[in-house]
Each structure stands twice: as structure tokens, then as C-alpha cells.
Amino acid sequence: MSSSTSVAVSGSIVQKDGTIDREAVDRLLERLADIAWKSEGSVALLVETPEPHLHVERNSVDCIAGKGFAGDHSRKSFYRGEYISGREVTAITSEILEILGVDPVVVGDNLITAGIDLGRLEAGDIIRAGEVELQRSAKTHRPCHTFRSRTSPEAFAAVSRERYRGALFTVISGGTIRKGDRISIAT
């Protein structure tokens, strides 16, 4: 595995005074609604989190069934001290991040996709990315306070209203995913 970018995340990327520009949120929602999705996609970016708040871009990653990305720290699937099942791999699309003006490495998701609408996937749906099969979790990938601090109040508000935050997955068949690999929906 090779690393091309490493980003330590310690605070807000977009400095705001905490107020939300409602017109900006509406503009974001209009642009997000206009994304032309495809029936298949590709892997735009892969990000491992070897320790909390350290995101490392990879050209390829090994995925382990029942765990997620091999290089992620052991507490990645925990939130506020509680284990959250169904979040072995977190994903969002590059199109959404581009509209939101967010650096894909900073946001913290493992799998950044291109072309495919993750929001339309239902719990239990399976996607193939490279050698790996991922099953859409029943858990909703909701934006949290960390997402807001790494983006902006407007980005947070926009993805909170619709299914734009992405999806959570479990690894049902391990293997290697490479940047540029095709992503298809299996079920």
C-alpha cells in the first residue's frame, strides 16, 4: 500500500461564526439534486484512519470481512465510546464533496466513490468494488458534529436534509480495493 496524502484533522476546516446561511443551503440542495448519477461508478479515493483524526490517502487498501479497511485503528467503529455495528466502511461520493467544497481526505470517510448514488442504496444491497463485496448497513450514515466541524454549517444542513451523507457498509467478502476500480451494484 502506498500513501500519497496524510492529513491530521484537529479542528474546523471552514471557519464560520456558527450561523447558517439558509440561501447557501438552498443553493447547495439545488446543485446536489442536479447530480447526474450513473448505474455504475468507480473508486475515486481510498482513505485509512490509522489513528484517530489522522486520515491517510491510499492507492489501494486491503479489506477484511467483519473488520473493514486493514489499516484503520481499532476504535474506528466506535462513536462516543459505544461500538456501532454496520460501519466497517464509511462512504460518500466525490460529486457531493465537490459541491460542498470539501477535501475528500479531510471528511474522514474510507471510500470516496464517483458516479454512483449511494443514497439510493437500501439496507442489504451489495456493491462490488474491486475484489471486495460490501453490504449496505441498516444504519443511516448521518452527519455528526465532527462532519460539521470539518466542513461548514451549510454543508452539514444540506446533507442532513436528504440522503447525501453517503452510506455505511459491512465487508462481506474481503480483498483489495484500488483507486479507479469499478463499482457495481450486485443486488
CATH number at residue 86: 2.40.33.20
Whether 73 is in a domain gets the answer yes
Domains identified in the chain, total number? 1
Question: Is 14 inside any structural domain?
Answer: no
pLDDT band, residue 103 (cuts 50/70/90): confident
In a domain, 49, yes or no: yes
The single residue listed with the C-alpha cell 442489504 is: 124
Cell 446543485 maps to which residue?
Answer: 31
Q: In which domain, by residue range, is 99 found?
A: 3-9+19-185
Give a yes or no: residue 176 inside a domain.
Answer: yes
Orientation of helix 22-33 relative to helix 153-161, angle to 10°: 50
Closest CA to 141 of 118, 157, 124, 125: 118
Of all residues in the chain, the percent with pLDDT exceeding 90 is 51
Task: Answer whether residue 153 is part of any domain.
Answer: yes
Asked if the structure places residue 86 within a domain, the reply is yes
What is the predicted pLDDT for the residue at 127?
97
pLDDT of residue 152: 79
Integer Cα distance of 7 and 5 in angstroms: 7
- pLDDT for residue 101: 87
pTM here is: 0.83
* pLDDT > 80? residue 179: yes
From 6-20, 56-70, 88-102, the region with the lowest mean pLDDT: 6-20
pLDDT in tens, 40-70: 999 999 999 898 888 899 999 999 998 999 9
Confidence class for position 18, pLDDT limits 50, 70, 90: low
Q: Is 76 exposed, middle or buried (0-12, 13-18, 19+ CB in 10 A)?
A: buried
- The reply to whether 138 falls in a domain is yes
- Residue 4 has a pLDDT of 45
Digit-coded pLDDT (tens) for 134-168: 999 998 776 666 776 777 788 888 888 777 888 99
**Using an 8 Å Cβ cutoff, are 89 and 61 in contact?**
no
- List the grid coordinates of 61: 487498501
Asked whether residue 169 is domain-assigned, the answer is: yes
